[in-house]
Structure 1
Amino acid sequence: MSPRVEALLDAARARIVRLTPEQAAHAVTYERALLVDTRPAADRARFGAIPGALVVERNVLEWRLDPTSPHRVEQADDPRRTVIVFCNEGYASSLAAASLRDLGLVNATDLAGGFHAWAAAGLPVKGRAATP
């Protein structure tokens, strides 16, 4: 990873409290947190998906989750709602969580280790075709 990208990632992660797969599962089950899969369709087809996760690909994430956007998803109903974004390994999702915080989603965070950490923790996965 380049030093500039590493610095950007470090700055993003300094602003969020990343969740382990177990913490994320608990937040979704008991705290009304929204789990958002930002991975491309090809990755979901190859590795599987987390049941109940909302799919919002990264290129439209801000428009779909900004509670003030006319293009938001129904679940983007409260800027205080915990939104946990994830990608494959937890790099792009850290940057995405920081971007969502910039939009005013004060509890936006990401899944440390991404989808692969979730699957490795033995948490539910559907349609798993391959291992990373």
Structure 2
Amino acid sequence: MKTPQDLVAAAKAHVQEVPLAEAEAAIREADALIDVREESEFAAGHIPGAIHASRGMLEFKLAGNPALQARDVKVVLYCKTSGRAALAAASMREMGYLNVKSIAGGFDAWVAAGKPVAKPELPSFG
């Protein structure tokens, strides 16, 4: 029986991971930056400009968004440490997407490098 780590390793063998040093350039060149973490993780902070599509709903969100349906759309994915993003990228490849990358080290590496983080504005009730 395969472990989750086995599945991630297999996915990473077929996915283009972008080193953190090249992540900002890859994001600028992409048509979409997708955060595949859970909603609560996204709400706590995310890479500026990212759209949210949790790993469990990614395929459905892609199918439901006309702007993301072209198979040559350039997408950069990320999650907390890069495992879910690798699985998501592998799934997108199976769907026929041609230009999918993930950020090596994920959001944790992004934050550790001191890169900008967006947080939703909460309403003030004072």
Range of TM-score over shorter length: 0.7 to 0.9
Match of 2:51 in 1: 54
Aligned ranges 1:53-92 → 2 under 5 Å:
53-65=50-62, 69=63, 71=64, 73-92=65-84
Aligned equivalents of 2:43 and 2:52: distance in 1? 12
Matches within 5 A, 1:1-132: 4-29=3-28, 31-46=29-44, 48-65=45-62, 69=63, 71=64, 73-127=65-119
TM-score normalised by L of structure 1:
0.79
Gaps in structure 2 of 5+ consecutive residues: 121-126
Separation in structure 2 between the aligned mates of residue 96 and residue 32 of structure 1, nearest angstrom: 16
1:98·1:109 contact (CA, 8 Å) conserved in 2? no
- Which residue identity is paired with 2:116? P
Residue-by-residue CA offset, 1:78-100 (whole Å, 9 max, x unaligned): 21122111111111111111000
SS in 2 for 1:24: helix
Contact 2:30 2:76 in 1 (8 A): no
Aligned-residue CA RMSD (Å): 2.1
The 3 A distance-change label for structure 1 pair 64 and 34 is: same
Contact 1:37/1:85 (8 A) holds in 2: yes
Structure-2 change in CA distance of 1:58 and 1:5 (3 Å): closer
The share of aligned pairs that are identical, in percent, is 34
Q: AA paired with 1:32?
A: A
Q: Does the Cα contact within 8 Å between 2:38 and 2:54 map onto a contact in 1?
A: yes
One-letter identity of the residue aligned with 1:114: G
Q: Tell me the CA shift for residue 38 of structure 1.
A: 1.2
3-state SS of paired residue (2:17): coil
Give the TM-score taking structure 2 as reference length: 0.82
Q: CA deviation at 1:14?
A: 0.9
**Partner of 1:102: helix, strand, or coil?**
helix
